[in-house]
């Protein structure tokens, strides 16, 4: 029997387009619907690209653990020529020794526990600034755009850690730092017809390449400037940011690959992209669920009261004692995966997965969104119910395949520890310091939860809420200060 007879089941698809027409504004949902019909390992032709869609925990284990090595590469696509400095980044790099070297450098030098800890006071400082701002809003009874505030916080933390200082929006481009970054993310996530139907690639029918080149130029100039500044101020006494660390490897011959400017720029882009949007998105979804589920919000606040008390703010060292908060973050990441389809994987050789044949160079999409609400693994899968994790050993690190918000295996996220720290600490602090209510008499159950699909999937509409300060001792201090003023 010919092996190709054993391709996984899937829709026939149109000539040329294949099944591209089946993907609308919410591809994770469209793919989920198709998987309900064709099964957890499904074959689609997207244009000319053979694509395997993986949609159950068991299937994910086969692709990300049993056969992890075969599926540890990434497909090539139009956008990366511009956004990864000639494929020199980590996230999109093909499997091989270059990727292994860069990944090692990132995990050992940039994202290690020690390095993460060295920025603890910086994170506390940034979070304090936000709390201060929110206290002013609370005094005025003002509505706060939480999505915007959290996005700024996350960008500021990322910039200080990676580039050494905060950059004002205008420093990058008149459009603003976050806007340009979001544009880059969006351009990378928008399906480019040229990736699926190769002979139209050069035509740039959607104008994506033109926009990408502009974004690339902005980042390239920005990173050049930053690298120059770091080279000039070398040897100054300061906590080494990521640029400093990488410059330590600059031009060295001892490793297999010389680290040049282009490598540094590509990795900087990885780190910025990896830490800005992801954490902010995870935080806004967790807060949304807490605003929607008052019972859970109260329970988190009670835990904080008993572990931290109302006399001080939360510190990172408290986090390990906050068990219920941990369940809340897990449950929020389960229902609102930040990266719903992970980053596409690609097979490096023909492979039999069970009795199914997967050809070399197939693109593999893991539908984490569908997997994390698979009714075979989760009871009442649509319900936000953190208690489901009580007494369970399931964590978010991808050892168990029903919960894979960070992926799993060789290509799993190297920034888990950092991401979790920022997300948990921020959510904890915001609900410890403040009570929150929805504006304009919006009822919790009516809170809009529409998603905006992309490589990362934030809320479609910003989360707005009204804070009131709730820490007792500091409230007293404020009163005293006010009295003094009078």
Binding site for heme, by residue number, is 413
- The reply to whether 18 sits near ligand HEM by the rule CB under 6 A is no
Nearer to ligand HEM, 20 or 404 (CB): 404
Among 11, 191, 412, 444, binds ligand HEM (CB under 6 A): 412
**For residue 299, which of 307, 445, 279 has the smallest C-alpha distance?**
307
Name 42's bridge partners: 53
Task: Give, as ranges, the residues between 130 and 159 that touch ligand HEM (CB under 6 A).
Answer: none
Distance CA 137, CA 482 (A): 17
**Long-range contacts: 4-9, Cβ < 8 Å, 24+?**
4/357, 4/359, 5/357, 6/352, 6/355, 6/356, 6/357, 7/43, 7/356, 7/357, 7/358, 7/359, 8/38, 8/39, 8/41, 8/42, 8/43, 8/52, 8/356, 8/358, 9/38, 9/39, 9/42, 9/43
For 203, residues 6+ apart whose C-beta sits below 8 A from its C-beta are 194
The rounded distance, in Å, linking the Cα atoms of 455 and 185 is 7
Instruction: Supply the Cα-derived Rg of the chain in whole angstroms.
Output: 23
Tell which one of 275, 293, 424, 429 touches ligand HEM (CB under 6 A).
275
Token pair 């992970």 is found at 342
Structure tokens that stand for 9 in this block: 């089941």
C-alpha to C-alpha distance for 93 and 224, rounded to whole angstroms: 22
> Does residue 342 interact with ligand HEM by CB under 6 A?
yes
**Shortest spacing between CB 120 and ligand HEM, in angstroms:** 15
Strands of the sheet containing 434-437, edge to edge, are 144-145, 464-469, 434-437
366 CB-contact burial (10 Å; exposed 0-12 / middle 13-18 / buried 19+): buried
Contact residue for ligand HEM among 18, 27, 164, 405 (CB under 6 A): 405
Closest contact distance (angstroms) between CB of 449 and ligand HEM is 18
By C-beta, is 65 or 388 nearer to ligand HEM?
A: 65
The three state secondary structure string of 32-64 is HHHHHHHCCEEEEEECCEEEEEECCHHHHHHHH
Binding residue for ligand HEM, selected from 406, 434, 436, 453, defined by CB under 6 A: 406
Question: Least distance (Å) from ligand HEM to the CB of residue 421?
Answer: 9
Eight-class DSSP state of 3? G
**Nearest-approach distance from CB 149 to ligand HEM, in angstroms:** 17
Q: What is the layout of strands, in order, in the sheet containing 41-46?
A: 41-46, 49-54, 363-366, 345-346
339 binds ligand HEM (CB under 6 A): yes
Q: Would you say 209 or 421 has its CB closer to ligand HEM? A: 421
Q: Is the dihedral of CA 303, 314, 460, 190 positive or negative?
A: negative
Question: Which parts are annotated binding residues?
Answer: 413
Work out how close the CB of 23 gets to ligand HEM at its nearest, in angstroms, rounded to a whole number: 19
By CB under 6 A, tell whether 343 contacts ligand HEM.
yes
414 forms part of the interface with ligand HEM (CB under 6 A) = yes
Task: Assess contact for 384 and 335: CB atoms under 8 A.
Answer: yes
Q: Residue 271 interacts with ligand HEM (CB under 6 A)?
A: yes
Q: Does 419 bind ligand HEM (CB under 6 A)?
A: yes
Site for ligand HEM in 168-227 (CB under 6 A): none
Cβ pair 410, 69 in contact under 8 A? yes
| Using rule CB under 6 A, residue 413 touches ligand HEM | yes
79 versus 193: smaller Cβ distance to ligand HEM = 79
Nearest residue to ligand HEM on Cβ basis: 415
Determine which residue in the list 270, 284, 289, 326 makes contact with ligand HEM, applying CB under 6 A.
270
Q: Residue 288 interacts with ligand HEM (CB under 6 A)? A: no
Stretch (H or E) spanning 365 = strand 363-366
Cβ partners under 8 Å of residue 6, min gap 6 = 352, 355, 356, 357
Q: Which residue number, 28 or 211, has a Cβ lying nearer to ligand HEM? A: 28
Closest approach of ligand HEM to the CB of residue 278, in Å: 4
Give me the least distance between CB of 381 and ligand HEM, in Å please. Answer: 19
Taking the least distance from each CB to ligand HEM, the nearer of 356 and 372 is: 372
Whole-Å CA distances, 187 to 26, 182, 206, 211, 218: 16, 8, 11, 8, 14
Which lies closer to ligand HEM via its Cβ, residue 10 or residue 419?
A: 419
Instruction: Write the binding mask 89 to 108 for ligand HEM: x where contact by CB under 6 A, - elsewhere.
Output: -xx-----------x-----
Number of residues that bind ligand HEM (CB under 6 A): 26
Q: Which stretch binds ligand HEM (CB under 6 A): 27-35, 267-275, 296-304, 472-480?
A: 267-275
Q: Is 278 in the site for ligand HEM (CB under 6 A)?
A: yes
Given 27, 50, 194, 274, the residue binding ligand HEM (CB under 6 A): 274
Nearer CB in complex with ligand HEM: 340/386? 340
Which residues of this protein are in contact with ligand HEM, per CB under 6 A? 90-91, 103, 111, 270-271, 274-275, 278-279, 282, 338-339, 342-343, 405-407, 411-415, 418-419, 423
């Amino acid at each position: 029997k010919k092996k190709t007879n054993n391709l996984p089941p899937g829709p026939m698809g149109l000539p040329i387009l294949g099944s591209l027409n089946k993907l609308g504004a919410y591809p994770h949902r469209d793919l989920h619907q198709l998987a309900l019909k064709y099964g957890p390992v499904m074959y689609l032709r997207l244009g000319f690209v053979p694509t395997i869609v993986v949609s159950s925990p068991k299937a994910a284990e086969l692709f990300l653990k049993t056969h992890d090595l075969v599926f540890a590469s990434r497909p090539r696509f139009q956008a990366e020529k511009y956004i990864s400095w000639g494929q020199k980044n980590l996230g999109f790099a093909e499997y091989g020794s270059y990727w292994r070297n860069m990944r090692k450098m990132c995990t050992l030098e940039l994202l290690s526990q020690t390095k993460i800890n060295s920025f603890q006071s910086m994170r506390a400082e940034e979070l304090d600034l936000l709390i201060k701002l929110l206290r002013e809003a609370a005094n005025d009874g003002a509505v706060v755009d939480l999505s915007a505030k959290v996005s700024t916080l996350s960008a500021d933390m990322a910039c200080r850690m990676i580039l050494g200082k905060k950059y004002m929006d205008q420093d990058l481009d008149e459009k603003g730092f976050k806007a340009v970054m979001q544009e880059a993310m969006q351009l990378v996530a928008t399906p480019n017809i040229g990736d699926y139907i190769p002979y139209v690639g050069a035509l740039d029918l959607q104008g994506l390449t033109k926009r990408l080149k502009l974004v690339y130029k902005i980042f390239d100039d920005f990173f050049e400037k930053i690298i120059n500044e770091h080279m000039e101020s070398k040897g100054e006494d300061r906590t080494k940011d990521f640029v400093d660390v990488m410059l330590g490897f600059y031009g060295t011959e001892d490793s297999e690959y010389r680290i040049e400017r282009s490598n540094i720029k590509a990795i900087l882009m990885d780190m910025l992209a990896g830490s800005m949007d992801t954490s902010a998105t995870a935080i806004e979804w967790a807060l949304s669920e807490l605003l929607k589920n008052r019972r859970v919000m109260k329970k988190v606040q009670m835990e904080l009261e008993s572990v931290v008390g109302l006399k001080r703010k939360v510190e990172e060292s408290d986090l390990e004692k906050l068990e219920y908060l941990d369940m809340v973050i897990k449950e929020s990441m389960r229902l609102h995966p930040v990266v719903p389809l992970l980053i596409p994987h690609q097979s490096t050789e023909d492979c039999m997965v069970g009795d199914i044949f997967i050809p070399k160079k197939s693109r593999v999409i893991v539908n984490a969104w569908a997997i994390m609400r698979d009714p075979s693994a989760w009871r009442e899968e649509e319900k936000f119910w953190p208690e489901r994790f009580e007494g369970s050993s399931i964590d978010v690190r991808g050892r168990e395949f029903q919960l894979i918000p960070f992926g799993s295996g060789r290509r799993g996220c190297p920034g888990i520890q950092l991401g979790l720290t920022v997300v948990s600490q921020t959510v904890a602090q915001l609900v410890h310091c403040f009570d929150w209510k929805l504006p304009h008499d919006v009822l919790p159950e009516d809170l809009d939860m529409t998603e905006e699909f992309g490589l990362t999937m934030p809320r479609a509409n910003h989360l707005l809420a009204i804070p009131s300060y709730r820490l007792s001792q500091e409230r007293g201090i404020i009163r005293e200060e006010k009295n003094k003023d009078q």
